[in-house]
């Protein structure tokens, strides 16, 4: 392992001023705590030059490959030769930086309206890196409807890390205002939330947080929308993160996490634990993610169009549907004031857990699976799968229906998806069939509630 890639603390108080001078020459980047910062390939500003439409930006990249490869090469190398005994090359050890990863990070920074993006081994690794900014005694304000993995990590930090976590209904900014204080170091948001599809007012909550504590970090999980439909950094967020496993990749053939910021000093603070822990994305996965990002628009447009048709189909037959593309969604206007689309994840209720189980198991085109964002359609019961790590008592307190079915819509023909869903509903006994139509056994056309 090269010295520059070690990430060890260079701040040795007993080393003396002479030693400190040597360290500064060897490691020109030293943070306030005395940590040497290994080579951290920072992107050129993504805002320089002409900005194209998002469809173009997703595909268009500029590289410096010596052979002008149209697809960025995979630098499948763990280490890089140096030109001198003191190192000094742009790259020395792939844990600290790799050309393929850097190319991806620069491209993601551009499409995420960020000054810097960082890629790691999974979406949860991204959140783990972000929470490394917290110290014992810090307080976190977050939602009461969260991805199960997020809830699990926050619970662990509360139990073992001395972090105080406040779960509130973030769809009402006043709830956030009630619990936020000068000790609030982070506000962690999802919108739309998973799986209840509730919408959070990012600009308003960011304003509340920064007014109470200017140093408070507002972090937003943007996995559900992707950069195609929403840019939280433009709405007041300090950090945006996503599971690259989902829409950015689009094929469920890799795991990745993305973090983006506009404050470059915050970017360096986030880079340090990535390098120290070694959770940076591998060269091959970086290449796969780069390839997936280029087709984000065509995939998402089809998925979103399919989701709208399926949501309307279910609602028209009496099911309670949660989807921001429906006018019945209580936060329809708020969502579309921030986002450029409704996404491709929806959930609906049947009124009976047994019915929901039979529907999920009767579907054929809809694969029973956790996760979302894939080109093929997925179906699941969150309380039994993705959110099973949240105990039943807590789920009840947070008004998470046990019969809830989540649909993650793919790019298949929408008529085939609807036909398969119709067959599953009938086979499960979830609808009353007449000569002309069918309706839910437990109909409720009422608008979704928070």
Same domain, 289 and 301: no
User: What is the pLDDT confidence band of residue 3, given thresholds at 50, 70 and 90?
Assistant: very low
The whole-model pTM stands at: 0.87
**Are the C-beta atoms of residues 384 and 361 closer than 8 Å to each other?**
no
Each residue of 170-227: pLDDT tens digit? 999 999 999 999 999 999 999 999 899 999 999 999 999 999 999 999 999 999 999 9
Give the CATH number of the domain where residue 127 resides.
3.40.640.10
- Greatest extent of the chain over all pairs of C-alpha atoms, in Å: 90
**Are the C-beta atoms of residues 409 and 310 closer than 8 Å to each other?**
yes
Residue 26 scores a pLDDT above 60: no
Same domain, 355 and 223: no
Residue 103 scores a pLDDT above 60: yes
Residue spans of alpha helices (H) in 278-326 = 283-293, 296-316
370: burial class by Cβ within 10 Å (0-12, 13-18, 19+)? Answer: middle
**Are the C-beta atoms of residues 341 and 228 closer than 8 Å to each other?**
yes
Per DSSP, the residues of 49-95 read SPPPPHHHHHH------TT--SS------SB---SSTT---S-SBTT
Catalytic residue among 106, 198, 246, 322: 246
Identify the pLDDT of residue 143. Answer: 96
Same domain, 289 and 306: no
Q: Report which DSSP code applies to 280.
A: B
Check if 116 is active-site: no
Q: Give a yes or no: residue 411 inside a domain.
A: yes
Same domain, 264 and 163: yes
Domain count, the chain: 3
Write down the number of H helices and E strands in the chain.
15, 14
Return the closest-CA partner of residue 138 out of 94, 91, 185: 185
Number of other residues whose CB lies within 10 A of the CB of residue 364: 11
Q: Tokens 């959140």 identify what position?
A: 127
Same domain, 283 and 350: no
Identify the pLDDT of residue 49. Answer: 64
Range of the domain at 166: 45-293
Check if 246 is active-site: yes
Task: Give me 220's structure tokens.
Answer: 């937003």
Catalytic residue among 221, 238, 403, 420: 221
Same domain, 308 and 410: yes
**What is the C-alpha to C-alpha distance for residues 278 and 98, in angstroms, rounded to an integer?**
12
Identify the pLDDT of residue 423. Answer: 97
Query: Exposure string (b/e) for 31-47, b if CB count within 10 Å is 16 or more?
Result: eeeebbbbbbbbbeebe
Return the closest-CA partner of residue 190 out of 199, 181, 179, 178: 199
Catalytic residue among 75, 147, 241, 271: 147
Same domain, 208 and 303: no
**What is the C-alpha to C-alpha distance for residues 245 and 240, in angstroms, rounded to an integer?**
15
Q: Give a yes or no: residue 328 inside a domain.
A: yes
Identify the pLDDT of residue 24. Answer: 35
Task: Give me 230's structure tokens.
Answer: 């929403």
Element (H, E) at 281: none
Q: Give a yes or no: residue 226 inside a domain.
A: yes
Identify the pLDDT of residue 399. Answer: 78
Each residue of 287-318: pLDDT tens digit? 999 999 999 999 999 999 999 999 999 999 99
Identify the pLDDT of residue 42. Answer: 43
User: What is the pLDDT confidence band of residue 386, given thresholds at 50, 70 and 90?
Assistant: low
Identify the pLDDT of residue 88. Answer: 77
**What is the C-alpha to C-alpha distance for residues 424 and 86, in angstroms, rounded to an integer?**
66
Same domain, 321 and 430: yes
Residues in the chain: 450
Identify the pLDDT of residue 8. Answer: 36
Identify the pLDDT of residue 443. Answer: 86
Same domain, 114 and 160: yes
Q: Give a yes or no: residue 445 inside a domain.
A: no
Kindly state the average pLDDT of the residues 357-365: 97
Share the mean pLDDT of the chain.
88
Q: Which residues contact 443 (CB under 8 A, 6 or more apart)?
A: 318, 319
Residue 429 scores a pLDDT above 90: yes
Give the CATH number of the domain where residue 404 resides.
3.90.1150.10
Check if 95 is active-site: yes
Check if 135 is active-site: no
Identify the pLDDT of residue 282. Answer: 98
Identify the pLDDT of residue 22. Answer: 34
Q: Give a yes or no: residue 449 inside a domain.
A: no
Catalytic residue among 92, 93, 95, 145: 95
Q: Which of 293, 313, 339 is at the close of a domain?
A: 293
Task: Give me 189's structure tokens.
Answer: 């948001």
Per DSSP, the residues of 118-169 read EEESSHHHHHHHHHTT--TT-EEEEESS--HHHHHHHHHHHHHS--EEEEE-
Same domain, 249 and 126: yes
Same domain, 12 and 94: no
Beta bridge partner(s), residue 438: 433
Q: Give a yes or no: residue 448 inside a domain.
A: no
Q: Give a yes or no: residue 245 inside a domain.
A: yes
Same domain, 21 and 55: no
Number of other residues whose CB lies within 10 A of the CB of residue 189: 25
Residue 37 scores a pLDDT above 70: no
210: burial class by Cβ within 10 Å (0-12, 13-18, 19+)? Answer: middle
Identify the pLDDT of residue 85. Answer: 83
Residue 39 scores a pLDDT above 80: no
Each residue of 220-265: pLDDT tens digit? 999 999 999 999 999 999 999 999 999 999 999 999 999 999 999 9
């Amino acid at each position: 392992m090269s010295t520059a890639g070690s990430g060890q603390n260079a701040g040795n108080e007993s080393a003396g001023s002479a030693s400190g001078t040597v360290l500064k020459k060897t490691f020109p980047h030293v943070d306030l705590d005395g940590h040497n910062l290994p080579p951290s390939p920072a992107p050129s500003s993504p805002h320089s030059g002409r900005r194209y439409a998002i469809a173009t930006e997703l595909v268009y990249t500029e590289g410096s490959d010596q052979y002008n490869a149209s697809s960025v090469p995979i630098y499948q190398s763990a280490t890089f030769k140096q030109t001198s005994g003191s190192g000094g090359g742009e790259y020395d050890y792939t844990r600290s930086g790799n050309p393929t990863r850097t190319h991806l990070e620069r491209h993601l920074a551009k499409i995420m309206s960020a000054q810097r993006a960082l890629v790691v081994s999974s979406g949860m690794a991204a959140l783990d890196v972000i929470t490394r900014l917290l110290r014992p005694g810090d307080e976190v304000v977050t939602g009461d409807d969260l991805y199960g993995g997020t809830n699990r990590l926050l619970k662990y930090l509360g139990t073992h890390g001395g972090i105080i976590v406040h779960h509130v209904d973030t769809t009402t900014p006043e709830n956030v205002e009630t619990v936020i204080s000068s000790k609030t170091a982070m506000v962690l948001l999802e919108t739309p939330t998973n799986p209840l599809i509730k919408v959070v007012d990012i600009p308003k909550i960011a304003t509340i947080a920064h007014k109470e504590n200017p140093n408070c970090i507002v972090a937003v999980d943007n996995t559900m929308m992707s950069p195609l439909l929403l840019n939280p950094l433009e709405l007041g967020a300090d950090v945006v993160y996503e599971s690259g496993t989902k829409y950015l990749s689009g094929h469920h053939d890799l795991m990745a996490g993305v973090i983006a910021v506009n404050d470059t000093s915050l970017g360096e603070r986030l880079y340090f634990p990535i390098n120290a822990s070694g959770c940076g994305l591998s060269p091959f996965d970086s290449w796969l993610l780069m390839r997936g990002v280029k087709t984000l628009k065509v995939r998402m447009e089809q998925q979103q169009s399919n989701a709208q048709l399926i949501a309307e189909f279910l609602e028209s037959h009496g099911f309670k549907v949660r989807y921001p593309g429906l006018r019945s969604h209580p936060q329809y206007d708020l969502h579309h004031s921030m986002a450029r689309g409704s996404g491709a994840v929806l959930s609906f209720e049947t009124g009976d857990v047994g019915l929901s189980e039979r529907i999920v198991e009767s579907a054929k085109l809809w694969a029973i699976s956790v996760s979302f964002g894939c080109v093929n359609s997925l179906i699941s019961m969150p309380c039994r799968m993705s959110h099973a790590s949240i105990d039943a008592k807590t789920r009840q307190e947070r008004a998470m229906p046990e019969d809830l079915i989540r649909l993650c819509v793919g790019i298949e023909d929408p008529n085939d998806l609807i036909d398969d869903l119709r067959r599953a509903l009938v086979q499960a006994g979830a609808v009353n069939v007449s000569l002309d139509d069918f309706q839910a056994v437990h109909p409720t056309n009422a608008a979704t509630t928070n």
